[in-house]
Structure 1
C-alpha cells in the first residue's frame, strides 16, 4: 500500500544535514531558511586530521557529526532522540511505523550506496528524509534535487547499514518532536554566534578551529614528502572536494555561514553582523581559490607552498572576523 506524507514539501538545499532539518521543521509548520539551522547549530568549524591510522588526511569545515542536530533542537525547544540499531530489519520496521504515525524520518546513509548521487567515496553521515513508502520503494528527500526521489528499500537499507568509514551510519535515525510555538529571538541567534566564535578562537585542540587552519597550513607544506608523488594527486583531489565538493555550498561552508549572518543581522537589526557576513563571503572566495589551487598542483600550475601561504591568510582573516562577531554578540545581547 502506497503511503506518502501529505503536505510534505521539499526543494533543493545546500547541505544534507541542514536541508533535512529544514524539511522536518517545515512539515511541523515552521518554515525557516536552511542557513538558520546551520547558524543555530553553531555549524561553522574547521578540523584537520592526519593521524597514523589514516591513509590520507581529512579536512572539514563544520562542527562534528551530530553536534549540529543536538544544538539546533535544543535552541528551538524540540525534543531530539537519536537512535541506532544493529538490525537493518528493525531499523526498517521502525521507519515504517514512524511513517504510519505521520512522521517524516530523518536518517543517516552512506552516500556511496545512493545511486542517484553517483558518489565514488564512502561517507556515512549523509542525511535523507524518508517521506513515503510503497511495497519495495522508498520516497526520499535529498538536498541534491527538488521533490521526492524513488529508490528501492533494499538500496536504502544497504546505505543505512554500511560499516565503512568515515562516520558509519549504523542504521541511525532521528526522532524530533517539534513544538507548536517557536520563537527565534535575537538572544538565541547572538548566543549561537558567540558560542561558535568561542569554539573557533579558543579550541584546546591544535588541529581544530582557527588554530587548526594554521596547523593545516604548516602540514600542507610537507605533503609532497609525507605522501609522495604516487598519493599526492589523490590527497589534493580529496582536499579540493572537502572544500568545494557537493553538499558544502562552496567555500568550505563559509558561504552558508555568511547567509546565516545576513539573516541574523536582519532579525537583530545589526549592521556589524551584515559587515561580517560580507567578510565571510570574501573568506569563502579565498577557500574556493584554495580548492582550485589543489586541483592544479598535479599539473604544476600551483604549489603547496602557495596553498600554505593562502591558508595562513585565511586563518588571519577568520580570526579577525570571529573577534568582530564576539563583539557584535556582546553588544546585541546587552541591547536585547
Structure 2
C-alpha cells in the first residue's frame, strides 16, 4: 500500500503543522511560525450560540483560512477536495499517496485511536496522512497529539465524515504540481520579505476592522464585559470554565492564545527583513501572550473555586489586552504598508 517518504514535523498547532509537512515535502522550507504568520492566522473570536453550553474563545482565524491565505500570499496552489462519499474520500487520499504526495486531512480527532484518553470532539483538527498499511492509516500530528501514529481506516473514515461545528465533508488537500510550485521553489528567498509584509498588513487590517463586534480587538472587549457573569450564566461553571481555559491555553494554541507563535513570527520577520521595530513588536506580543496565559489561569481558578474575584481580574486584563493589541496592530499595519510602498518604489526605479 502507498507510503510517502519524508521527514515528519510535529508542531504546536494542527493546521500549521499540517501545512509545514505538505510544503517541506515539496521543497518549500518554512517554519511553523512563518506558515502561521504568512497565513494571517492571528485573530480573536468570542462565539456562543443558544445550543452551546459555554462560549468559545478563539485566538486564530477560522479553519481552512490558513491554507487559503498562504496560497494567496505565496502564489502557491492547493488541490482541495471535499465529498460526502466516504469511499470517494478514501480514494482521493490513496490517489494522492500513490502520486507520492502527503495528504492533509481535516477531521474530528475524537475518532483517532492514537489520541488515547485525551480524545474529545473537535471537528476542525488537521493531520497529515503519509501511509496506508493494511487496515491502518498512519498520520503525523501535533505534539499534543503525540506526534501522530496509526488509526484504523474505519476510524479515519468516521473522523473525516463526522459532522459538527466547523466540520467539512471529508476535506483533503495536497500541494499542486505545476509552474507556480516550481517558481516558488526557485524564488522563495526573494519572495519572502514582500510576502511577510503583505501578510502582516492584511492580518493587522483584519484584526483592527472586524466585520462583527465579537471579533478582533472588539471581541476581546466583548469577552471582558461578559466574563464577570459566567458563574451565574453558565449552567455548570465548575466543569465548563476549566474547559474554556484549556481551549484557550493548551489546545494547540502554542500558549498565550497563539500570541507566542505570532511573536516568534515577528522575530523571524526581523531577521528576514532587518527591520528593528519588528523585534520590539515581538517582545510586546510575548508580554501580551503572558497576559493571555494569566487570563486562562484566572478562568480556570474561577471554575475550580467559584471565584468572582478571579473573573473580575480576567475582565480587567482582557480590557488591557484589547488596548495593547489594538496599538500593536495599528503600528504594524503602518510599518508593513510603508515597507510595501518602499519596495514598489525601488522596483519601479530599477525598471
TM-score above 0.5, yes or no: yes
Q: Which moved more, 1:249-258 or 1:302-311?
A: 302-311
CA-CA distance at 1:300 after TM superposition: 4.5
Question: Counterparts in 2 of 1:291-302, with a 5 A limit?
Answer: 291-297=296-302, 298-300=304-306, 302=309
SS of 1:3's equivalent in the other structure is coil
The answer as to 2:135 corresponding to 1:136 is yes
1:276 aligns with 2:281: yes
Aligned residue in 2 for 1:222: 229
2:71 alignment partner in structure 1: 73
**Structure 2: which 5+ runs fail to align?**
344-351
SS at match of 1:9: coil
**Cα distance, 1:101 vs structure 2:** 1.2
Structure 2 equivalent of residue 159 of structure 1: 159
1:185 aligns with 192
Q: Deviations over 1:127-158 (max 9, x none)?
A: 11111111111111112268662221112111
SS of 1:181's equivalent?
helix
State the alpha-carbon separation in 1 of the partners of residues 198 and 331 from structure 2. Answer: 14
Separation (CA, whole Å) in 2 of partners of 1:294 and 1:23: 34
**Structure 1 portions without partners, runs of 5+:** none
1:6-47 Cα offsets, whole Å, 9 max, x none, are: 2x1112201110011011110001111111111111100000
Between structures 1 and 2, the one with greater helix share: 2
Q: Is the 8 A contact 2:73 2:198 kept in 1?
A: no
Q: Name the SS of the counterpart of 2:9 in structure 1.
A: coil
Q: Give the SS at the match of 1:324.
A: helix
Deviation at 1:171, TM superposition (A): 1.0
Partner SS for 1:180: helix
In structure 1, C-alpha distance between the alignment counterparts of 2:230 and 2:155, rounded to whole Å: 38
SS at match of 1:132: strand
Tell me the secondary structure at the aligned position of residue 124 of structure 1: coil
How far 1:266 sits from its partner (Å)?
1.2
How many angstroms apart in 2 are the aligned matches of 1:21 and 1:119? 23
Could you state the TM-score of these two structures normalised by the residue count of structure 2?
Answer: 0.90
Query: RMSD of the alignment, in Å?
Result: 1.7
For residues 175-218 of structure 1, what are the alpha-carbon distances to aligned partners after superposition, in whole Å with 9 as ceiling and x for unaligned? 32150232233221111111111111111300000010001110
Query: So what's the TM-score if we normalise by structure 1?
Result: 0.94
Question: Relative to 1, partners in 2 of residues 1:19 and 1:304: Cα closer, same or farther, differing over 3 Å?
Answer: same
Structure 1 stretches of 4+ with a deviation exceeding 6 A read none
